[in-house]
Amino acid sequence: MPKVSFILVNYNTRDLLQNAIQNLLGIYPDMEIIVVDNASTDGSFSMVREAFSTKVKLISQENKGLAAGNNLAFHVASGDYLIYVGTDAYPKPEAIRQMVDFMESNKDVGICTPKLVLRSGKPDMDAHRGFPTPATALIRFMGLHALFPNSRFFGHYFLSYLDMTTRHEIDLCITHFMVVRQSAHRAVGDWDEQFFLYGEDVDFCYRMKQNGYKIVYLGDIEVLHYKGAGHGRSVSKDIKNAASTSKEVVANIPSYSTQAMRLFVTKHYKNKYPTWLVNLMFLGMSLILGLRKFLTNFK
């Protein structure tokens, strides 16, 4: 039984996927690699089958989304720790070893994540966040989180008041890189497949916390993240091997994000907060979606 199961869910990122698999081969002495291909049209499946047939467990499914792909891998993974990795994240051997050692020594931690570092050298703040409570969502909508990043109240969305170089608890991280304890994963259960793209990690982390497990950010361990390359977003257009995602999918990303947030609020907050407050959150989401679509038309 391997100690670590690396899980990559792929959609039209053939070249990135090949690089990601190559980077993971031999990165830890006791490991397996599981790739789920979501009906790619760029030759991803055949590339893995031909180049890594003896080194990778390959699963193919129709494109039911990221959460569905995660579930397929989760149910065949046998490692004590499941490491969900985006095809645009590139860890080094010492990073994997240090994270596994941390999990071995901290049994109350269900998930840990490293500091994901962008090509600019700055941390990816999406991997270091608080839950989107009504107050946090309103503050972000008004832009106050950017004006007062060191405030515990105003900086809750990105937890920007915390020292990003230290190890500390956070509310949530992202599926581009998270180390999940197998036993905790089974206690939490499957990923919610209602989330097609975006939000699956917010929901999963929320349920992990509800089950009494900690989520810890390891700010002293860095992993390079080519943010956006896995979705073919404009921020990654200069990357040679960036995903060949269709323009239609890229254009729908704002809608996916907003739909995911609406689903999360309905699932977890509808019976927790007053109706008027939940409706206010929905109104804010609609306004943000309209603004994002407007801005997308000019890119």
Cα–Cα dist 227/110, whole Å: 25
Strands (E), 73-213: 81-85, 89-90, 109-117, 167-169, 177-181
Strands (E), the chain: 4-10, 31-38, 57-61, 81-85, 89-90, 109-117, 167-169, 177-181, 214-225
Name the β-bridge partners of 60. 37
Strands (E), 4-161: 4-10, 31-38, 57-61, 81-85, 89-90, 109-117
Helix (H, G, I), strand (E, B) or coil at 52: coil
CATH of 4-128+164-296, one of 3.90.550.10, 3.30.160.250, 3.30.565.10, 3.90.470.20: 3.90.550.10
User: pTM here?
Assistant: 0.90
The answer to whether residues 104 and 211 touch, using CB atoms and an 8 Å cutoff, is no
At residue 253, the pLDDT reads 74
At residue 290, the pLDDT reads 73
Tens of pLDDT along the chain (299 residues)?
799 999 999 999 999 999 999 999 999 999 999 999 999 999 999 999 999 999 999 999 899 999 999 999 999 999 999 999 999 999 999 999 999 999 999 999 999 999 999 999 999 999 999 999 999 988 988 889 999 999 999 999 999 999 999 999 999 999 999 999 999 999 999 999 999 989 999 999 999 999 999 999 999 999 999 987 655 544 445 555 554 555 556 666 777 888 899 999 999 999 999 999 999 888 888 877 777 766 666 55
User: Domain residues of the chain, as ranges?
Assistant: 4-128+164-296
